[in-house]
Structure 1
């Protein structure tokens, strides 16, 4: 085929296929695309006829599944559609100017540390780049990078979904948080062995909960969990009230809980292995120039260092 010959399929058909694959039903794709189900079904059939192969299995009661060929076509279609969108976006700005959207995924407890400096600094450099934020735990990020729903993400390195590209930003060891009037507050450090008869306020969001429990397990210990919460600030708030101690990684400058009760950070002795914070992005397709610029900027920032 000559390079100037048009393919027998269209980008519209490919976008319908990708949407149907993501939604799992023709009806779901139609609702997302704001077209009729018959329009989606017809586009899929036309695409299959053009390529001469079956891409989907459509059952009214069971929805839509991809054949092995369909899975391969969807992956290639995502790359083609991303390139087409990037071509369109690149023509909207001046030469050398970065224009267009970036969707940033971020683990919730990292958001207060990562996002303020990142969003403010990058927006100053590239005001026409539109930054959207998706806060999600590692398990909920799984699949979003590969599906093109998230361009870049900031996560702990203890559990990274899929096989993305990655770069280390910084690493910190976990620490213990106690109330300001706790007898341990002036100690500076504490052994995990000295905590097992106390109440733990567990940050119960993967991988934080697994990391905390594994530190105790490594020393043959089992902590006494009093409350499980999914918010970093909820841990600090309950600790500030004297309801228990917490184990956290991020180290805010504010020495008080959300309510204003003082909390104190104690180092763990002996020192526990640090937890790394990584920036990750899909292995394929290649990231856009604006996404690469965001990654470079993130790696250039002065991130927290162990005390």
Structure 2
């Protein structure tokens, strides 16, 4: 009988992949909770078994993969994922979903998207460990492909990489004004009505680019008074009367963080809506618990536009 067992171990592959992701032996060791020498020795042993150099290790410059190393890492990822799923399946009872899901989410979407997932899906599947990562599109780049993030909820204007995707809902941007602003009594607001006023700009891509593009499409240039990466800071500054905002998400609370009333007004003529998508890997078959989360997200009755 021919022995088909490989001469390398899953642990060696795991150490190599982690070192490639972290960029240094020391960082990989810290993530794996082992000594740097254990990581280095495992990679050296793997190189000896496979008969080629997989990494270039320089003390001052970290670790980089050779061409062969890149191919080994790419092939190791699905093997490691399959081994983890095998281990989890042996600990599950029947069709019960078990294991971790890392959910990536754009920060301004988090208050809308995460609560029903963490609460409702979490209650339905108590042995699924839901972990969250709030990150902008550039920070999500590559993390779906590597498996660091299983599923993410993002705006459709900037999708990192080429994942599978499905639109969940869409909302047009609205103008946000203070509750005592005369425009708060209007049925809708034209961008021409606010362009000479002070804009409190949500300065986080793609929100800032989207806001400026709405004005540019009408040949207008807004006067930006303050920039902030915080959605709630925009609402708070608007509530205090320091300017107006252009936002997409629509909280039910008609007041700012400090309690000052604000009003959401539809833009006229209507502007194109912004889509919110769920994305997941196009190269790896997602486990059952990730597929279940995507199906659950599809089933939710997401918010629809309403005029405050």
User: Shared fold (TM-score greater than 0.5)?
Assistant: yes
Aligned to 1:67: 66
**Distance in 2 between residues matched to 1:30 and 1:254, nearest whole Å:** 46
Aligned to 2:273: 274
1:112 is displaced (CA, Å) by: 1.0
SS in 2 for 1:146: helix
1:177 is displaced (CA, Å) by: 0.2
1:188 is displaced (CA, Å) by: 1.9
**Distance in 2 between residues matched to 1:252 and 1:63, nearest whole Å:** 45
Aligned to 1:139: 138
* Mapping of residues 59-208 of structure 1, within 5 Å: 59-208=58-207
SS in 2 for 1:189: coil
SS in 1 for 2:84: helix
**Distance in 1 between residues matched to 2:27 and 2:113, nearest whole Å:** 35
Q: Once superposed, what is the RMSD of the aligned Cα atoms?
A: 1.3
**Distance in 2 between residues matched to 1:104 and 1:34, nearest whole Å:** 24
Task: Render the CA deviation track for 1:154-174: whole Å, top value 9, x for unaligned.
Answer: 110010111111111000000
1:45 is displaced (CA, Å) by: 1.4
Larger deviation, residues 195-204 vs 27-36 = 27-36
Q: So what's the TM-score if we normalise by structure 2? A: 0.96
1:267 is displaced (CA, Å) by: 0.8
SS in 2 for 1:190: coil
**Distance in 2 between residues matched to 1:236 and 1:61, nearest whole Å:** 46
**Distance in 1 between residues matched to 2:20 and 2:163, nearest whole Å:** 21
Task: Render the CA deviation track for 1:28-75: whole Å, top value 9, x for unaligned.
Answer: 222222322222222111111211222111122211111122112112
Aligned to 2:240: 241
1:193 is displaced (CA, Å) by: 1.6
Q: So what's the TM-score if we normalise by structure 1? A: 0.96
**Distance in 2 between residues matched to 1:39 and 1:115, nearest whole Å:** 38
**Structure 2: 5+ residue runs without aligned partners?**
none
**Distance in 1 between residues matched to 2:68 and 2:216, nearest whole Å:** 45
Larger deviation, residues 179-188 vs 48-57 = 48-57
Task: Render the CA deviation track for 1:200-255: whole Å, top value 9, x for unaligned.
Answer: 00111111111111111111211111111111111111100000000000111111
**Distance in 1 between residues matched to 2:230 and 2:33, nearest whole Å:** 36
**Structure 1: 5+ residue runs without aligned partners?**
none
Aligned to 1:54: 53
**Distance in 2 between residues matched to 1:120 and 1:229, nearest whole Å:** 30
1:21 is displaced (CA, Å) by: 0.3
1:288 lines up with 2:295 in the alignment: no
1:43 lines up with 2:48 in the alignment: no
Alignment size in residue pairs: 306
SS in 2 for 1:80: helix
SS in 1 for 2:76: helix
